[in-house]
Amino acid sequence: MVFGRPGLSMSRLGMGVFALCSACSNAPSSDGAGAAGSGATSAAGAAGSGATSGSIFDDSQVPSCDSSKNYQLRGTLAGQRLAVLQFQATDLASHALTILVVVDSAVRTDLALDWSDPLAANKAIALTGTSLRVPDDQPLAGQSFCVTGGDFGSATPSDPSKGRTLLFRLTGMRQGDCSGMPVDSDLKGCIWRSPTALFPSSD
């Protein structure tokens, strides 16, 4: 199943890829080694000093992304263990986050998260939707799930020149669209954004 996002054009995707990759050539080699290593590194260790305690920012199971592998997703879904480690184009708006993949000249949305609260740094925000497509190299390959619960947040980076990490947890899911059967979900992920990518304020 392909989930599209209204108003998201190929030209906008191109700008997202440019913003994503603009800092890659200058990224320190140690960043790449950290992303490719074990899952022990957590977002809690990478967060800036403004992160609040007792929330997504302190969850040691949330992975930490960097410029070499900017999308990670780990945990269990419908009884299957996922370990996603990819480099993908992303789009962040004031109330939504998407991961975008070009397939046969069309833009496919592999992850879409929405929230209603204002976007702000160092604040855990409850998710209100919307969908996840499981990557083709994982169990449940190509299957789509509706997001019904979870949270999202981004700590102020300790070094803005190294970019910003977005964190999320998916704790409520349904098979297919949102009328499908509920499935167990304990997924935790991160997305790295380059220093030139905007962190939009609330509309």
Whole-number pLDDT of residue 105: 85
* Residue range(s) defining the domain that contains residue 81: 67-203
Give the pLDDT confidence of 83-109 residue by residue, as tens digits. Answer: 999 998 899 999 999 998 888 888 888
- Is the residue at 176 inside a domain? yes
- Is the residue at 48 inside a domain? no
- Is the residue at 8 inside a domain? no
Asked if residues 16 and 89 have their Cβ atoms less than 8 Å apart, the reply is yes
- The DSSP call for residue 160 is G
- Is the residue at 37 inside a domain? no
15 vs 29, which has greater pLDDT?
15
Domain count, the chain: 1
What pTM value is reported for the model?
A: 0.75
DSSP letters, 3-64, are B--TT--HHHHHHHHHHHHTTGGGS-HHHHHHHHS-TT-BHHHH--TTPPSSSGGG-TTSB-
Per-range mean pLDDT, top range of 28-32, 34-38, 41-45: 41-45
- Is the residue at 38 inside a domain? no
- Is the residue at 35 inside a domain? no
- Is the residue at 85 inside a domain? yes
120 vs 1, which has greater pLDDT?
120
Compute the average pLDDT of residues 182-199. 95
Residue 169 to residues 53, 72, 147, 153, 195: CA-CA distances in angstroms?
16, 11, 10, 9, 23
Whole-number pLDDT of residue 15: 44
In a 3-state reduction of DSSP, which class is residue 161?
Answer: helix
Cα torsion 183, 142, 56, 38: sign: positive
Helix (H) / strand (E) containing 120: none
Whole-number pLDDT of residue 145: 98
Distance CA 90, CA 37 (A): 23
Whole-number pLDDT of residue 54: 54
Closest C-alpha to 162, from 31, 35, 38, 49: 31
Give the pLDDT confidence of 38-72 residue by residue, as tens digits. Answer: 333 445 444 444 444 458 999 999 999 988 889 99
Asked if residues 88 and 99 have their Cβ atoms less than 8 Å apart, the reply is yes
% of the chain surpassing 90 pLDDT: 61
- Is the residue at 49 inside a domain? no
pLDDT greater than 60 at residue 203:
no
Give the pLDDT confidence of 105-160 residue by residue, as tens digits. Answer: 888 889 999 999 999 999 999 999 999 999 999 999 999 999 999 999 999 999 99
Q: Determine how many CB atoms are found less than 10 A away from the CB of residue 130.
A: 19
